[in-house]
């Protein structure tokens, strides 16, 4: 029952986040929705029993989205957006509206459920390790990545290098 609930919530979160990334015009909102989609994917990995991949998803990709947001703020100058209503009524800036609070609550629930699943599995693995019947898959994943899937690994390295060079070119000051 718990895994079914986690799977459905993660699938909804992944699809909803991906659709909102495509339809949002604001880059910061798009990055946040990408973050929600990536957390949903980590939940899907956790329901499949791929704990290492789920943790890697959270550590690498979700952490990478935070860095992406920082780059976006740095490249755009980081100006604060103030709406017309805030200027007219003298209101303090808010962090979102009802939709963003509902979305954030849903993301939080999926993230907590994913972590509960991972912690449950961690307890099971520690019991199995004492008996000697649990074998870690990290070594097998590493060997597959370096032997069988080396082309995909190298292509992703070149892609990340290109993104870094592109960000550096965009961020450099213009000559007058």
pLDDT of residue 90: 62
pLDDT band, residue 134 (cuts 50/70/90)? very low
pLDDT digits (tens, 9 = 90+) for 51-91: 778 888 888 888 877 777 767 666 665 555 555 555 666 65
Closest by alpha carbon to 140, among 55, 53, 54? 53
**Stated pTM of the model:** 0.56
Helix axes 98-131, 27-47, angle to 10 degrees: 30
Q: Write b or e for each residue in 107-135: b if 16 or more Cβ atoms lie within 10 A of its Cβ, otherwise e.
A: beebbebbbebbeeeeeeeeeeeeeeeee
Q: What is the mean pLDDT of the chain?
A: 77
pLDDT score at 14: 93
Q: What is the pLDDT of residue 173?
A: 74
pLDDT in tens, 19-59: 988 888 777 777 788 888 998 999 898 888 777 788 888 88
Dihedral of the alpha carbons of 47, 51, 54, 55, in degrees to the nearest 10: 150
Assign 15 a pLDDT band (cuts: 50, 70, 90): very high
């Amino acid at each position: 029952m718990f895994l079914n609930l986690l799977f459905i919530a993660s699938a909804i979160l992944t699809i909803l986040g991906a659709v909102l990334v495509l339809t949002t015009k604001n880059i910061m909102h798009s990055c946040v929705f990408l973050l929600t989609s990536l957390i949903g994917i980590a939940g899907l990995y956790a329901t499949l029993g791929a704990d290492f991949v789920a943790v890697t998803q959270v550590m690498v990709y979700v952490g990478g989205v935070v860095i992406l947001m920082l780059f976006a703020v740095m490249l755009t100058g980081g100006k604060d957006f103030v709406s017309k209503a805030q200027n007219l009524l003298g209101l303090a800036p808010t962090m979102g509206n009802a939709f963003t609070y509902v979305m954030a609550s849903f993301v939080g629930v999926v993230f907590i459920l994913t972590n509960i699943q991972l912690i449950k599995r961690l307890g099971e693995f520690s019991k199995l390790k004492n008996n000697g019947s649990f074998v870690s898959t990290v070594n097998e994943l590493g060997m597959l990545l370096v032997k069988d899937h080396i082309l995909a690994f190298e292509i992703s390295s070149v892609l990340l290098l290109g993104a870094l060079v592109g960000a550096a070119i965009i961020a450099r000051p213009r000559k007058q």
